[in-house]
Amino acid sequence: MSYYGTTDWTANDDLMLRLRDIRKGNLELGWLKTGTETVKANAENPRRGFTYLDCNVGSYGEDALPEIPRGPRGSAPRGASYDVAKQADLSPELNRKSDVWAYKVSSFYEEAMSRQWNATTDIPWRNLEHEERPIELEIAFAQLCTFFTEVEMIATDLPAKWAWRMNNQFHEVKHFIASQAIDEARHAEVFRKRALAGGVGLLEALPQAEHSLKAILDGDTYSEASAFMHLLAEGNVLTMFRFSEFISPTPTDKRMFQLVMQDEARHVSYGMQHLKWLLDHTPEKKEQIHAALDEAEAFSLAQFDSALFEAMIVLAGKGTKPENIKKGIEVVGTLQLKQVQEYYHRLNRAGFQERISRSKFNDMLAAMGALTGAASKGVN
Amino acid sequence: MAYIAPKDFASDPAIVQKLMKVLGGDLDLSWMRSRDDAINARPSQAKRGLTLDDINQGVYSPDRSPEIVRHNFSMAPRGAFLPPGLPSLGYKLNRKSEVWSNNAAALFEEGKARHWAPAHVVPWEQLREHGYDAREAAAWRQLATELISIGLVTGDVPARWEYQMNQEFHEIKYLMCVQMLDAARTAEAWRKRALYGDGGLGVECLELGELLKMVADSGTYPCASASMNVLLYSFVMTLGAHLEWAAKNGADSLLGTRLAQDAGRFVAYGVDHLRCMLRARPSEAHSLNGHLDLVENGLVGWLGARAHLEPLVVVSGGFEPVRTFYERSVREYFERCAAAGLGDRRARSPLTKFLSFLA
């Protein structure tokens, strides 16, 4: 499976002669005649620093990138001079801009770089031992953290699966999804640490959630996988993060959710802007995304019944007594509606309104007696 | 390729019934159990925060991971209860010695603590008075072009293997994400360096392209790790230090320093990864050495390429500093190979012959 190049350099006389030449100071300087463009790039806004937006100039810029960059298939960066026939072909599989691109992707990357935080030091872990909470709430919170530890790594594995298949002309996207990979690894890390710092530990893995994760990882195309993961799954998780901040038993936990939320929102925004770009530039792919979301929504429906659901009820009601459970159900019922409502809102913003009437969630909402109520507000 | 649900849950009335049952107040709560083996993880040093080493205790410790993982192919985190029905996510790296290094957790922590953002951290305005003549300025841009390529491809290499790695080894997966971002930042920082002011990119160095393809197409993860982390990044690390030495302004000096610092983590993981693997399976040294023989040949092609060597000579002010840099890089690389358990590579390596051409 390995590749070992086209030349045995140790048996190459030219190399020896060349080295002797250079050693004597005889430089050919062919690399000076690049034929590449000279541009003026500077930090437009010194407060923001020198960003990729400032580098969007001339042939180097993302605006100059065509839908199909014909020719480059190797490691030459966009705008560099390269030889089509001699380049080492890395066999990229995603070679259309619409396969991967998103509006604002450079901004998302720059934001990610400037907002990296550290789960080791940015959470006041020492405070946790002084923050009192009933054991049943700690157990429920440990279950919630187990779930988040379990699912967050999919948003690392999925970008990794596709990043190396992307043409190097799309470096802004590759960089952004590298930032997503570390964001999500950090999320898995922080929830694992929280579960283990609370004295309960990790609890049950969730088989139904795992089937969804498998479906995400095995998506046929990057865009289909992105629609499932960024738009639907991470969107749901974002709503859950917001909810979890609300029901967190301690200030330390609230801080944790505040930090993960800002990352997750960026990932969801990328997914929305990728879908929008895809539909704007290749509307013929709409049916393909519909079919992928038909299946994705079906997987998501199966997740509504789980240890997770009950853990959230216990946390929201602050206990397991009947009156706590009653209150918890009210709050979690609202969350369920909110998740669908916000998903529909994202579809709207991505220009995919027609998906809403086809959504598999509508039957569930109807069963909950809410289709024409709270959830439909998100549609309008 | 797509994974299709075993049934259409949307048309399964049992799903909604279950939901309504819970919403009706009929909870199961069987998951609410405390564990006898729970730990109370606390920061061992308050100043350092709660590290992975602090939580790697008891059943949660990687020391409990078997050499061959047979019990879990799902995304369930190490140490969680595994109920029946968890699917396989198709991991292909299920053997601890294929991926493990004892320093991965510490390197992950270091990677996060030393994160930097080129947009803000580099004093870009110092490039306005960069201190180089026209040829030197072009040489810096040419070397920057190469470093962009290195960043692009070496971000792909961990990506290519990370998603195939069992979740049991999450410390390694986390570190690979750090590598992906470190590599992205290398590409970003040097792209900005090349374009800043009256800037532009240079030419693709074909020999570097060949080398990067060899690294990317390594047939196994240990081979990929040996060729990228130990071989390529040994040279990138010393190149960073060399550029810092050659820099005539604060921006280039910082870029060189940070390149060396970030590259150091790749090298440190790679050496310990090989060391751990060869302790567990010494016979693997044969195939790794064979792989390195061939990839080192690719490195020779790059180190001797005009598009690389000439600009390096220009920014270094002559050939001698480059020879010294190359000799040091090769010597340190051989030392790392020996420390990893690969033995003395000097006699068999194409790099030895290459150095003799420089004398």
A163 vs B: CB within 8 A = yes
CB distance A205–B46 less than 8 Å?
no
Which two tokens mark A279? 């539909």
HSE-CB for A62 with a 13 A CA cutoff: 19
A207 pLDDT above the threshold of 50 = yes
What is the Cα–Cα distance from A217 to A155, expressed in whole angstroms?
9
A321 vs B: CB within 8 A = no
Choose among A132, A119, A128: nearest CA to B50. A119
- Could you give the angle at the alpha carbon of A262 between the alpha carbons of A172 and A251, nearest 5°? 155
A378 pLDDT above the threshold of 70 = no
- Residue from B12, B188, B287, B323 whose CB has the most chain A CBs within 10 Å, to mutate: B188
Confidence of residue B297 (pLDDT cuts 50, 70, 90): very high
Nearest by CB to residue A113, choosing from B31, B119, B210, is B119
CB < 8 Å to A7, chain B: 210, 297, 301
Q: What is the DSSP letter of A166?
A: B
Q: How many of the other CB atoms lie within 10 Å of CB of A137?
A: 22
CB distance A171–B25 less than 8 Å?
no
Which two tokens mark A38? 């000279």
- Distance from the Cα of A306 to chain B's closest Cα (Å) equals 9
- Residue from A135, A164, A294 whose CB has the most chain B CBs within 10 Å, to mutate: A164
Q: Where are the alpha helices (DSSP H) in chain A?
A: 13-23, 97-100, 105-114, 125-128, 135-152, 154-163, 171-197, 207-217, 222-226, 234-247, 251-281, 286-301, 307-317, 322-349, 354-358, 361-367, 374-377
A224 pLDDT above the threshold of 60 = yes
B325 pLDDT above the threshold of 90 = yes
Which two tokens mark B23? 């919403």
Confidence of residue A370 (pLDDT cuts 50, 70, 90): low
- CB-based contacts of A265, cutoff 8 Å, min separation 6: A238
Which two tokens mark B223? 């081979």
- Hey, which residues does A166 pair with through a beta bridge? A94
Q: What is the DSSP letter of A164?
A: T
- Could you give the angle at the alpha carbon of A337 between the alpha carbons of A331 and A343, nearest 5°? 135
What is the Cα–Cα distance from B359 to B354, expressed in whole angstroms?
9
Nearest by CB to residue A149, choosing from B25, B77, B113, is B77
Interface pTM (ipTM) of the complex? 0.97
pLDDT, one tens digit per residue, over A192-202 is 999 999 999 99
Q: How many of the other CB atoms lie within 10 Å of CB of A45?
A: 10
A113 vs B: CB within 8 A = yes
Contact B302, B211 (CB under 8 A): yes
Question: If you search the block for the tokens 């031992």, which residue do you land on?
Answer: A129
* Cα dihedral sign, A35-A51-A347-A224: positive
Phi first, then psi, for residue B128 (nearest 5°) are -65, -35
Q: Determine which of A118-132, A252-266, A303-317, A337-351 has the lowest per-residue pLDDT on average.
A: A303-317
pLDDT, one tens digit per residue, over B89-129 is 999 999 999 999 999 999 999 999 999 999 999 999 999 99
Range 15-34 of A in CB contact (< 8 A) with B: 15-16, 18-20, 22-23, 25, 27-32, 34
Nearest CA in chain A to B166: A157
Pairing relationship of beta strands B197-199 and A39-41 according to DSSP bridges:
antiparallel
CB < 8 Å to B183, chain A: 178
- Which uninterrupted H or E stretch holds A40? strand A39-41
Write down how long chain B is.
359
What is the Cα–Cα distance from A234 to A269, expressed in whole angstroms?
10
Which two tokens mark B197? 């002011």
Write down how long chain A is.
380
CB distance B22–A29 less than 8 Å?
no
Choose among B288, A65, A318: nearest CA to A326. A318
Which two tokens mark A108? 């998302």
| Gyration radius of chain A over CA positions | 25
Nearest by CB to residue A215, choosing from B3, B52, B216, is B3
Q: Give me chain A's average pLDDT, please.
A: 94
Q: What is the pTM of this model?
A: 0.97
Q: What is the DSSP letter of A85?
A: T
- Which uninterrupted H or E stretch holds B197? strand B197-199
Phi first, then psi, for residue B94 (nearest 5°) are -120, 10
